[in-house]
Structure 1
Amino acid sequence: MVGHALVHTYELAVPIFLPIWLAEFSVIDLGVAQVAVTTATLGAVVTLGYGLFGVGALPAGVLVDRYGSRRLIAGCLAGMAVAFVLLGLAPNVVAIAVALVVWGVAASVYHPAGLALVSKGVQERGTGFAYHGVAGNLGTGLGPLAAAVLLLVLEWRTVALLLAAPALVGAAYAVRARFDETAAVEPETVTDGGDDPEAGDAGDHGPGGEASDVSASRSSSERRSDGGVDSLTAFLGESRRLFASAFALVFVVVACSGLYYRGILTFLPELLGDLPGFEPVAVAAVLPDALSTAVGVEAGDGRTLEPGRYFYSALLLVGVVGQYAGGKLTDRVPVEYGVVGGFGVLAVLALLFVPVANLGVGPLLAFGAVLGVALFGVQPVEQATVAEYTPADTRGLSYGFTYLGVFGVGALGATVAGTALAVAGPPALFGVLAVLAAAAATVGVVLLRR
């Protein structure tokens, strides 16, 4: 939960910085050429980091199956701290790109490690995914909120440096943590991976009680006993086995999900800033005089409060409800129903965004709450679907491929969003997003019929 919260803190603090970078930088100096800074070019820069966030998940998944989750999560947290220190020292867009690349490589480790840990270490898997998802959404919402508040009184580079501190604390905790990484797997399936477990801790990883009937039906995927991936031949063999099964369809679902997620969130603060009712407000006009003096804010100093940033943070925070509800749902109904229903709702919401935004702030606030619940409600459903369709001994590899789809393929959503906005505007962007969600729902119907 600590790791998940911090990964998404950094992931979604980046869009808060995007409007500032658009205003501060005019060109990207590549040495041999200079490129103008636009939503399209900054979208491509962000895609570098977000893409590695996904691509790195595949080798990370292989490492999880061999060495366990704890060490990898500790390294992930330390690497993200280094990345935000580099971001805080960045003098130009090229240096920003380097910092985002470092962040992407470090963060890519988390999801295969964390989700393999939940799926093999917690008896009530859906409930485990629910709490894990709640933690992720707290980071998803509070991270951007913290960045937005700090930007009221501090320069963005200073904010980036301050944001590095929580990851250092999290890494120190992860290094010391001890637990049984395979508490929910039958003894004969336990092979490699993990630190020396403390047997007495096994019962501490879930809310207690018996697994539900739906969870019990998954036992066939938890009985493999032939170990994880330990060579290129084994990697290719296990990969072929995964994609020769229905997991190939699950991969299409998670790739569409990643494109939708990245496409809607990357430029959302920028989109909101252009809507009526979300105009910037001078910070000095909303702070009491005593507080303004204490923090060094003066009238006419150009510091503004951006309402869109806070709407964005609120949308991400309300996703806590979606994560919890989606996780609990997977303990009670077949995951395929969740895929069909969840992505069907997201398709409709994408088509409604622009019309609702034109109705004013009030309707958009209510709509944003529904969107936040739906957007994050499908995530535990996806995670449980992967666990349903994959064997326990290569769960790390399975989640590696999953997050190659979610964050690797999904990273292209930033480029798609930036290009759509630059060329055709918001209606085109949300039309593309609706098609992606509809495609995922259609694949869910295929899985259900199988």
Structure 2
Amino acid sequence: MALNANDRSIAGFTMAGHALVHWFETSIPIFLVVWLAEFDVGTTLLGLIVALGYAPFGLGALPGGILADRYGTKRLILCCLTGMSLSFLVLSLATSIYAIAVGLILWGIAASVYHPAGLALISTGVEDRGTVFAWHGIAGNAGIALGPFVAATLLISLDWSLVAALLAVPGVLAVIYGLSVGFEPTAAVADEADAGPDEALSASELLGNTRTLFASAFAVVFVLVTFEGLYYRGTLTYLPEILHGLPAMNGLPLPAGLEGIEPADYIYVGLLVVGIGGQYAGGKLTDRVTPARGLTGIFAVLAVLALLFIPATAAGIGLVPVIVLCGVLGFFLFAIQPFYQNAVAIYTPPDARGLSYGFTYLAEFGFGAASIALGGFVLDAFSRTAFFALIAGFAAVGGLVAGVLLLGSGRFTETQSVAETNADD
């Protein structure tokens, strides 16, 4: 079924926003080596500064969701795109490590509002939600892969400050496009509770809406997204390092002139590219498979894949099994995302959709980031085997939680308006 005009407009707008959030996000690490030399600082200090930039990306999702419900999703996404672009222009003008810190923190604050606003817009404005969730995810994966690739390529011949400024150009173009595009942001919920901007919520109303959400099936969704985030962030953070350390990578012959290329990096980028197919397939399947069933099945697959990395990364294993396993992992790691995004849309009321996605990405990027610290400790203190067992454990628990949603499918229904629920109380 072809998308209608409103769906197409929302799809184009949110795809641009999603791609650019991850375009900026994944380009930042490429600058680290340059900044270490440019400002003569230690890795510890620079790592802390970069962490300060990434922290608001997850922690700001909840207030971002509240702002989306209050001021409207399109307005907030435009502010996000403008803020991210200006932040990279600040970076391009930086003459000290402290100015770098300011630019990164501003980027994290601006970027944090995108996911709750963008997904809320799709969930309330799009009729063919599964298809647009799929294309939205594909755009995000494209940004994830292109950001570091473009940054690294430009840095070969250009100064880092100019590269930072050039990376801001697509963001400026997206703002211009967003100002010109028109759509109805609540077309898919026209007969439901008003999902548009409302008067500012008081503290008691916000607490009441939160209580209503967590008294519903959304509480189950929140927990399973947390474990998906633990799996996702831990895997993508440490897999490049693990791949670099494999004997199969060290013995790989390269053609003349390509000796500086790291095969592990290309395998990792390939994983992200395969994820584009996973996003699309997962989004299309949400039209045919219930979120609970899809989440349960994919969590089970992810647990098995994590365990398969134990023998696949053992000494003496060839390169082909590793490449195949990374490809399959990339597919399912991103195929799961449209299912939990659709679960939020199903089990939450339209008038609290921004708040719902705010909590969702607090779980995904905020709580999920705990696996970076935990995974690093396990790798240092124990082994790769223990690390992959830990990652598999995250998926196993997520699958059990999704099973609760599946077993309760007869009782879990779409949540009524929070205004109606609070009135009933």
- Scaled by the length of structure 1, the TM-score of the pair is 0.78
Checking the alignment, whether the CA contact within 8 Å between 2:189 and 2:195 is kept in structure 1 is: no
Task: Say which is worse superposed, 92-101 or 346-355, in terms of deviation.
Answer: 92-101
Does 1:273 find its partner at 2:273?
no
Tell me the distance in 2 between the aligned counterparts of 1:255 and 1:2: 26
Counterpart of 1:417 in structure 2 is 375
Counterpart of 1:244 in structure 2 is 215
- The within-5 A match list for 1:387-406 is 387-406=345-364
Does 1:2 find its partner at 2:19?
no
Checking the alignment, whether the CA contact within 8 Å between 1:189 and 1:393 is kept in structure 2 is: yes
Give the alignment partner of residue 435 of structure 1, picking from 369, 393, 398: 393
Counterpart of 1:326 in structure 2 is 282
Tell me the distance in 2 between the aligned counterparts of 1:92 and 1:357: 41
Give the alignment partner of residue 231 of structure 1, picking from 186, 197, 202: 202
Deviations 1:226-270 (A, max 9, x none): x67622221110001111112111111111111221111124333
Displacement of 1:119: 0.6
> Counting helix residues as a fraction of each chain, which structure ranks higher?
2
Displacement of 1:120: 0.8
Tell me the distance in 2 between the aligned counterparts of 1:328 and 1:407: 24
Checking the alignment, whether the CA contact within 8 Å between 2:192 and 2:350 is kept in structure 1 is: no
Give the alignment partner of residue 267 of structure 2, picking from 311, 316, 328: 311
Letter in 1 for 2:17: G
Tell me the distance in 1 between the aligned counterparts of 2:229 and 2:32: 20
- The within-5 A match list for 1:353-364 is 353-358=309-314, 359-364=317-322
- The within-5 A match list for 1:123-134 is 123-134=127-138
Q: Secondary structure at the match of 1:411?
A: helix
Displacement of 1:315: 1.0
- Scaled by the length of structure 2, the TM-score of the pair is 0.83
Counterpart of 2:44 in structure 1 is 37
Counterpart of 1:143 in structure 2 is 147
Tell me the distance in 1 between the aligned counterparts of 2:352 and 2:110: 21
Q: Secondary structure at the match of 2:187?
A: coil
Checking the alignment, whether the CA contact within 8 Å between 2:195 and 2:352 is kept in structure 1 is: no
Counterpart of 1:76 in structure 2 is 80
Displacement of 1:124: 1.6
Deviations 1:363-416 (A, max 9, x none): 211111101101100100110011111011111110011111111112223333
- Where structure 1 has 5 or more consecutive residues not aligned to the other structure, the ranges are 29-35, 194-226, 288-302
Counterpart of 1:342 in structure 2 is 298
Letter in 1 for 2:27: A
Tell me the distance in 2 between the aligned counterparts of 1:442 and 1:151: 45
- The within-5 A match list for 1:155-166 is 158-166=162-170
Pair 1:144–1:425, CA change in 2 (3 A): farther
Displacement of 1:121: 0.9
Pair 1:102–1:251, CA change in 2 (3 A): same
Checking the alignment, whether the CA contact within 8 Å between 1:50 and 1:408 is kept in structure 2 is: no
Counterpart of 1:58 in structure 2 is 62
Checking the alignment, whether the CA contact within 8 Å between 2:77 and 2:117 is kept in structure 1 is: yes
Q: Secondary structure at the match of 1:180?
A: coil
Deviations 1:136-162 (A, max 9, x none): 111122222223433444565554333
Checking the alignment, whether the CA contact within 8 Å between 1:280 and 1:304 is kept in structure 2 is: no
Deviations 1:157-212 (A, max 9, x none): 5543332222122122222222110111124533533xxxxxxxxxxxxxxxxxxx
Displacement of 1:441: 0.6
Task: Say which is worse superposed, 15-24 or 415-424, in terms of deviation.
Answer: 15-24
Displacement of 1:97: 4.5
Displacement of 1:114: 0.6
Checking the alignment, whether the CA contact within 8 Å between 2:92 and 2:161 is kept in structure 1 is: yes
Displacement of 1:427: 3.1
Deviations 1:270-299 (A, max 9, x none): 333323354599999527xxxxxxxxxxxx
- Where structure 2 has 5 or more consecutive residues not aligned to the other structure, the ranges are 1-14, 409-425
Pair 1:260–1:97, CA change in 2 (3 A): farther
How many equivalent residue pairs?
A: 392
Letter in 1 for 2:82: A
Letter in 2 for 1:71: R
Displacement of 1:100: 3.0
Q: Secondary structure at the match of 1:190?
A: coil
Counterpart of 1:181 in structure 2 is 185
Counterpart of 2:420 in structure 1 is none
Counterpart of 1:224 in structure 2 is none
Checking the alignment, whether the CA contact within 8 Å between 1:120 and 1:184 is kept in structure 2 is: yes
Displacement of 1:86: 4.0
Counterpart of 1:375 in structure 2 is 333
Checking the alignment, whether the CA contact within 8 Å between 1:279 and 1:306 is kept in structure 2 is: no
Pair 1:424–1:146, CA change in 2 (3 A): farther
Counterpart of 1:351 in structure 2 is 307
RMSD of aligned residue pairs (Cα, Å): 3.0
Tell me the distance in 2 between the aligned counterparts of 1:338 and 1:160: 40
Pair 1:279–1:102, CA change in 2 (3 A): farther
Checking the alignment, whether the CA contact within 8 Å between 1:80 and 1:167 is kept in structure 2 is: yes
Give % identity. 52
Counterpart of 1:13 in structure 2 is 27
Counterpart of 1:210 in structure 2 is none
Instruction: Find runs of 4+ consecutive structure 1 residues off by over 6 angstroms.
Output: 19-26, 280-284
Checking the alignment, whether the CA contact within 8 Å between 1:50 and 1:104 is kept in structure 2 is: yes
Pair 1:439–1:57, CA change in 2 (3 A): same
Tell me the distance in 1 between the aligned counterparts of 2:243 and 2:39: 21
